[in-house]
Structure 1
Amino acid sequence: MAVNGTNGVHAHTARPLRAGIYAPIPTFFVPDTEDLDLESFDAHILRLAQAGVWPLIAGSMGEALHLSHSERQTLIQSARRALDGAGLTRVPIIAGTGAGSTRETVELSKEAAAAGADSVIVITSGYFAGVLATHRPALKAFFTEVAEKSPVPVLIYNYPGASGGIDLDSDLITELAADSPNICGVKLTCGNVGKLTRIADAIAAPDFYDLHPRKNPAAPFLVLGGFADFIHASNFVHAHGAITGLGNVAPYTLAKLYEVSVASVADASLRPEALRLQGIVARADYTIAKASISGTKYLLEKLYGYGGAPRKPLPPADPAASEALWAHPHVQELVQLERELSGKIPQ
């Protein structure tokens, strides 16, 4: 059993992922020094977990490329301590471990598991995209080897915008799901609803798990969107939720949207409310996503008093653009809804 990193003694307890909403957690930095701001990081993770949104650490939103191996481990350990200390011992942690080489990706996955991560998420290596994009066997071999050597289950992260334009197709992802028993899902930040539908349909086949049993029977293959604008519709094609940056800004809203959407599959009377919530979320997601990491951090500063700037060379948020983002009617509509659902008095 791997050590969970909380105190170096207790055995790691598997916390399988389940359908729902996950958020890629920003990494917060101390002004001037750019050291890790663990106080804000822990507070944010607890805020989201208490709303029903679970953490993904050291992903794209978390500026993984700007973090050292030891900093990634520190973040995972800090998050686990904070969650356990708040009695949230069953909340799983996903950690981003994608790197340039297969070797380093495996190394990061082992380090993440030792620090307390319950699953890892791996993006396709994009530096040599000119070679890999058209080399299907190499792409499959990358994920297959990482999954075989990772101590914890692996999610595929399909994000062409951060992997040199490499866009895994539904056939390859479905093939990996079938052939690699330690692969536990996919995050589709390609925005391809058709791809999501095809993969989810394959996984939902009545005999999928009989034909392709998982390494951990409690860890099914999850099909997760990378945006919040089609959460409602994705439930009707057997998908399993989303990993979305908007969960940082409005965790209660995203959790409520998912809950009502799931229930509306069986109860048509709930669909108008699900569609109302989805409309608010979709408009805000479209507006806020364009502001990227710095914009999300600015909104967190406005809402919760922490956020700060990204690590250099990423620039801080432009003050005028940030104020315009905060004042945007799509954002204010979401903020109002989030305050209502969280019990906060509108300000």
Structure 2
Amino acid sequence: MAASVNGIHPVVPRPLKAGIFAPIPTFFLPESEDLDISSFEAHVVRIATAGVGPLIAGSMGEAIHISHVERLVLIRAARKALDAAGFLDVPLIVGTGAASTRETVQLTADAAKAGADYAIVIASGYFAGALAHNHAALKAFWTEVAEKSPMPVLIYNYPGASGGIDLDSDLITELAMECPNICGVALLTRAGHSCGNVGKLTRIADAVSGSAFTSTYPRKNPIAPFLVLGGFIDFLTPSTFARGHGAITGLGNFAPYAIRKLFELSEAARTDLSILPEAQRLQGIIARADYTIAKTSIAGTKFLLEKMYGYGGTTRKPLPPISPAAGKAIWEHPHTQDLVTLERQLSGKV
């Protein structure tokens, strides 16, 4: 159960369901780099309206650049905006990974008090040399965080943001079986080192699917089943057939209606193969755009949001902004414009 933080709405359950989740950027005012709360609130509601779940204070949200106090401000603002817009049942997933286990545990507890429903936790890469190949230490980290967390925890496996730390499918499966408060894993990729591949996703999804897993390894919270989520959207359709549960994708900020539609078609195609060609058509458009846009990372996503919706702004230093020339090139790229056309069609804003 999750409580509203504005004192108006009653306590409501917010189940964790398969689907698409967007890691929300943290928006900053141009001169001061203070939090731009109005743009943040508007964007969270925009994403929820499209049927996409918000994930705040993740890598796309520049969590490494925001203080703990700012993180709590964002949680309260997101919950308030969602409740005011009528999205009382939309859960908030919040990144709470920190440098040490102790700090991660404290931040997770503080996030829950501020209104978060689920935590997503990455291991710090500062001492990756000692941790990357230490199965016992990595297992102990997520085990302790999950045991002490007042809310369910997702494993965030992103080698590119954790100094190359990459959990294999065996370790993730062990954590799923032994930690009832762990409710899923997000598998992301870095260039040249695949984590979010269909093979790893398939192995984990196979292990946690079916009634045998559910009955033998029940979750601590019954509304938080173990989800296996891809970290990029370019393989959503094949991962759905491998019994994956959706994706966490930065592209969901830019084209939430298109990506939500792709998820719905991919799910439907599992039982009606006549739908598969349309899912494949959308997957092609989205995969090409994802490949092109992902190269520009956070700065490029913010630039595209500015072009698409009128807000986005820049990054917080020292992360550099995208150059005007590069921004213009990415906006005008045929892959981007194909996705813009699709998004406008599906959102009714042609």
Query: What's the TM-score bracket when you normalise by the shorter of the two chains?
Result: over 0.9
Deviation per residue, 1:158-182 (Å, 9 max, x gap): 0000000010000000000000000
Equivalenced residue count is: 344
Deviation per residue, 1:170-221 (Å, 9 max, x gap): 0000000000000000000022211000000001143001110110112100
Kindly report which structure 2 residues correspond to 1:297-312, keeping only aligned pairs within 5 A, or say none.
Answer: 297-312=302-317
Kindly report which structure 2 residues correspond to 1:81-230, keeping only aligned pairs within 5 A, or say none.
Answer: 81-189=80-188, 190-230=195-235
Q: CA deviation at 1:281?
A: 0.5
Q: Distance in 1 between matches of 2:215 and 2:239?
A: 24
Change in 2 beyond 3 A, CA 1:2/1:49? closer
Q: CA deviation at 1:88?
A: 0.6
Kindly report which structure 2 residues correspond to 1:233-272, keeping only aligned pairs within 5 A, or say none.
Answer: 233-272=238-277
Letter in 1 for 2:223: A
What percent identity do the matched residue pairs reach? 69
Q: CA deviation at 1:16?
A: 2.1
Q: Distance in 2 between matches of 1:96 and 1:11?
A: 25
Q: Secondary structure at the match of 1:333?
A: helix
Aligned CA RMSD, in angstroms, stands at 1.2
Q: Distance in 1 between matches of 2:2 and 2:206?
A: 34
**1:341 pairs with 2:346:** yes
Q: Secondary structure at the match of 1:266?
A: coil
Q: Distance in 1 between matches of 2:46 and 2:205?
A: 30
Deviation per residue, 1:10-32 (Å, 9 max, x gap): 77544121000000000000111
Letter in 1 for 2:308: L
**1:5 pairs with 2:15:** no
Deviates more, 1:202-211 or 1:12-21: 12-21
Residue 284 (structure 1) aligns with: 289
Q: Distance in 1 between matches of 2:131 and 2:11?
A: 35
Q: Distance in 1 between matches of 2:9 and 2:300?
A: 39
Residue 191 (structure 2) aligns with: none
- Contact map agreement 1:231 1:241 (CA 8 A) in 2: yes
- Contact map agreement 1:4 1:113 (CA 8 A) in 2: no
- Contact map agreement 1:229 1:285 (CA 8 A) in 2: yes
**Unaligned segments of structure 1, at least 5 residues:** none
Change in 2 beyond 3 A, CA 1:235/1:2? closer
Letter in 1 for 2:233: A
Q: Distance in 2 between matches of 1:307 and 1:78?
A: 17
Provide the TM-score with structure 1 as the length reference.
0.97
**Unaligned segments of structure 2, at least 5 residues:** 189-194
Provide the TM-score with structure 2 as the length reference.
0.96
Q: Secondary structure at the match of 2:20?
A: strand
Q: Select 1:231's aligned residue among 228, 236, 239.
A: 236
Q: Distance in 1 between matches of 2:163 and 2:304?
A: 29
Q: Distance in 2 between matches of 1:13 and 1:117?
A: 13
Q: CA deviation at 1:237?
A: 1.1
Deviates more, 1:316-325 or 1:9-18: 9-18
